[in-house]
Amino acid sequence: MRNRILAASALALSIGAAGVAVAQDAALIEDGEGVFRRCAACHQVGADAQNRVGPQLATVIGRKPGSLEGFRYSEAMVAFGEANAAWTEELLFTYLEDPRGIVKGTTMAFAGLKPEDDRQAVIAYIVSQQTPATN
């Protein structure tokens, strides 16, 4: 599985200018949907996604960290957003490995996804569920 994920990662994470996934590996997305179950207690994705304990992730790629209107972020995440122009697949990949290590003081309780293939898969799934950003 690891070789398939590594070979597909560049293709699966490619985003067009409009923020829409250009091409994705269906198996990687399916794996990511399974990994996302760990996130689903706090986050939603897709066209009807709503904020929960965590912000909705339907518009996360391209959105400034800590900036979703209607969601109350920790001061640490707002400061992280001031230092980062937008969530990219690369920034999300790094963040998901150790959220509390990357954003010290975040209120996100999730310990992170250590395996690279889990992070690649969940990002492919999130990207496949993206809707146009409104902020």
CATH number of domain containing 79: 1.10.760.10
Sign of the dihedral defined by the CA atoms of residues 8, 12, 13, 14, in that order: positive
| H-helix or E-strand spanning residue 8 | helix 2-12
Q: Is residue 80 part of a domain?
A: yes
Q: Contact, 24 vs 124, CB < 8 A? A: yes
Q: Is residue 7 part of a domain?
A: yes
Residue 74 structural domain: 2-128
pTM of the full predicted structure? 0.80
Q: Is residue 135 part of a domain?
A: no
Q: Is residue 51 part of a domain?
A: yes
Give the tens place of pLDDT for each residue, 94-116: 999 999 999 999 999 999 999 99
In this prediction, residue 132 has a pLDDT band, given cuts at 50, 70 and 90, of confident
Q: What single-letter amino acid sits at 35?
A: V
Q: Is residue 134 part of a domain?
A: no
Count of domains forming the chain: 1
Q: Is residue 95 part of a domain?
A: yes
Which of 124, 6, 119, 15 is CA-nearest to residue 62?
15
- Gap between the Cα atoms of 89 and 44, Å rounded: 17
Q: Is residue 66 part of a domain?
A: yes
Q: Is residue 82 part of a domain?
A: yes
CA atoms within 13 A of residue 82's CA, in its CB half-sphere: 7
Give the tens place of pLDDT for each residue, 25-52: 999 999 999 999 999 999 999 999 999 9
